[in-house]
């Protein structure tokens, strides 16, 4: 969401500066008084944007912490599925006891953070009060806060269940490995669906052609491809079987949609920067330089999304030709870890561009 803050701020600068740097002024140089007015507006917008990013940072950090905890639980639970092969359970039980205690402590901390009262949002500068996008973005950030805290509450029972299954596996319960594998897949589906619901909130308050909307759509499509893969695993392993060709075709369609969104991403960000840079007075403000840097950042993000689309196409191929354990198809997405980390790093960079 913080990239959306930046894009709304850039558009807001153009809106707020319109009364100062009107098109008619392009026929003559901008006067010092006019330039000062635009500079003042730009400073207000930049300060407000930075305040909004900082306001939303606890939610972004909490969401990331929750996702990392669920990744840790997934990794530990996957390890526990192999305990059934071990004759001596002493080491398994020792590890499980310590690991479960750490996981409970981490999730309790997440719940404490989620229970913290929401701080008041920064006041909207008077010059932006009538700009509709600003109000819609503020509403979206408030709704996102509620969704993050609700997700932590919703996943608590699943989290506890997985820990109990890990304990059972460490104690030699032969049923635990398959139960763990199934619940892990179901948890990942739920997590991806929750993330997509968060994206829907952002998309609903964005311009259809904005870079932030394109990035959210790309991430949504990537999640949908993974959901297809996880449902394939459930059907093949625990159900009546899956349609390999149909699943592969669906994933390839999602990959194509990722490519389309990635192509739109950089173009939209540069168009936004060019739009406000058309006015000489606005072009001289620091916020215009930030807008250009954000556009270049989105160019890099587009390449990341194209890379993830290629990995999804490999996933589709693996499913289409799957003959053994359906879980093996997830080996096709191992390379996505580096790209997802790069995606996160670029997001952090965009936030730093706004906050300085």
Asked whether residue 324 is domain-assigned, the answer is: yes
Q: Average pLDDT, whole number, for the chain?
A: 83
**Cα-based distances in Å from 47 to 56, 92, 280:** 14, 53, 21
The upper half-sphere exposure of residue 122, i.e. CA atoms within 13 Å in the direction of its Cβ, equals 20
199 domain residue, yes or no: yes
Tokens matching residue 263: 């192509």
Provide the domain limits for residue 253.
2-21+33-355
Q: Is the pLDDT of residue 263 over 70?
A: yes
Question: Is position 28 within any domain?
Answer: no
Torsion of CA 168, 169, 174, 175, to 10 degrees: 70
Give the up-direction half-sphere exposure of residue 283: CA atoms within 13 A in the CB hemisphere: 8
Residue 313 belongs to a domain? yes
The whole-angstrom distance between residue 198's C-alpha and the CA centroid of its chain comes to 9
What is the C-alpha separation between 255 and 222, in angstroms, rounded? 7
Q: What is the pLDDT of residue 130?
A: 63
**pLDDT tier for residue 217 given thresholds of 50, 70 and 90:** very high
Q: Is 26 inside any structural domain?
A: no
- Selected residue with higher pLDDT from 256 and 242: 256
For the residues 138-162, what does the mean pLDDT come to?
82
Asked whether the beta carbons of 13 and 41 are under 8 A apart, the reply is yes
Counting every residue, how long is the chain? Answer: 356
Q: What is the pLDDT of residue 1?
A: 43
Closest to 259 (Cα-Cα) out of 225, 208, 296: 225
* Residue 180 belongs to a domain: yes
Predicted local distance difference test score (pLDDT) of residue 25: 45
Which has the higher per-residue pLDDT, 129 or 100? 100
Distance CA 195, CA 44 (A): 32
Residue 158: pLDDT over 60: yes
Predicted confidence at residue 6, as pLDDT, reads: 45
Percent of the chain with pLDDT over 70: 86
Residue-wise pLDDT tens digits, 164-193: 999 999 999 989 988 998 998 998 898 889
Residues 6+ apart with CB under 8 A from 290: 6, 10, 46, 353, 354
Tens of pLDDT along 37-66?
A: 778 877 877 788 788 878 888 888 898 898
Lowest mean pLDDT among 91-100, 108-117, 174-183, 268-277: 268-277
Q: What percentage of the chain exceeds 90 in pLDDT?
A: 36
Give the integer Cα–Cα distance in Å for 329 and 290: 42
Read off the pLDDT of residues 281-323 as tens digits, 9 standing for 90 and up: 777 778 788 888 888 999 999 999 999 999 999 999 999 999 8
What is the pLDDT at residue 278?
66
What's the structural domain count of the chain?
A: 1
Q: What is the pLDDT of residues 16-30, one digit of tens each?
A: 444 444 444 454 677
Q: Name the token pair of 343.
A: 């995606």
What is the arithmetic mean of pLDDT over 68-78? 89
Distances (CA, A) of 164 to 43, 103, 183, 216: 54, 11, 12, 35
Range from 44-58, 80-94, 173-187, 336-350 carrying the lowest mean pLDDT: 44-58
What pTM was estimated for this model as a whole? Answer: 0.80
3-state secondary structure at position 131: coil
Of the ranges 242-256, 261-275, 320-334, which one carries the lowest mean pLDDT score?
261-275
pLDDT band at 133 (very low <50, low <70, confident <90, very high): low
pLDDT of 137 above 90: no
pLDDT band at 258 (very low <50, low <70, confident <90, very high): very high
What does the DSSP 8-state code read for residue 28? S
Q: Does 212 map to a domain?
A: yes
Q: How far is CA 159 from the centre of its chain?
A: 21
Average pLDDT over residues 245-263: 97
Asked if residue 27 is part of any domain, the answer here is: no
185-210 mean pLDDT: 82
């Amino acid at each position: 969401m913080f990239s959306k803050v930046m894009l709304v701020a850039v558009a807001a600068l153009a809106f707020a500066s319109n009364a100062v740097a009107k098109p008619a002024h392009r026929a003559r140089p901008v006067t010092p008084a006019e330039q000062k007015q635009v500079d003042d507006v730009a400073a207000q917008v930049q300060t407000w944007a930075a305040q909004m990013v900082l306001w939303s940072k606890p939610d972004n950090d909490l969401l990331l912490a929750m996702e990392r905890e669920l990744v840790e639980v997934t990794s530990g639970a996957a390890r526990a599925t192999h305990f059934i092969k071990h004759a001596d359970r002493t080491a398994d039980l020792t590890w499980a006891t310590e690991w479960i205690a750490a996981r409970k402590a981490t999730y309790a901390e997440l719940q404490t953070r989620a229970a913290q009262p929401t701080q008041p949002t920064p006041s909207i500068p008077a010059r932006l009060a009538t700009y509709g996008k600003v109000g819609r973005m503020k509403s979206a950030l408030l709704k996102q806060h509620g969704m993050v805290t609700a997700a932590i509450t919703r996943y608590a029972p699943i989290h506890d269940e997985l820990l109990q299954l890990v304990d059972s596996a460490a104690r030699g319960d032969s049923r635990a490995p398959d139960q763990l594998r199934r619940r892990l897949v179901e948890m990942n589906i739920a997590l991806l669906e929750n993330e997509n619901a968060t994206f829907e909130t952002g998309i609903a308050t964005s311009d259809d052609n904005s870079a932030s909307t394109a990035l959210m759509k790309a991430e949504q499509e990537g999640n949908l491809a993974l959901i297809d893969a996880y449902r394939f695993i459930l059907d093949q392993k625990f159900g009546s079987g899956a349609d390999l060709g149909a699943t592969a075709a669906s994933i390839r369609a999602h990959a194509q949609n990722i490519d389309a969104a990635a192509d739109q991403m950089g173009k939209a960000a540069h168009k936004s920067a060019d739009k406000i840079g058309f006015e000489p007075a606005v072009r001289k403000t620091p916020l215009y330089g930030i807008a250009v840097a954000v556009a270049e950042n989105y160019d890099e993000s587009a390449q990341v999304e194209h890379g993830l689309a290629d990995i999804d196409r490999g996933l589709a191929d693996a499913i289409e030709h799957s003959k053994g354990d359906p879980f093996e198809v997830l080996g096709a997405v191992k390379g996505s870890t580096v790209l997802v980390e790069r995606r996160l790093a670029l997001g952090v960079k965009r936030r730093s561009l706004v906050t300085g």
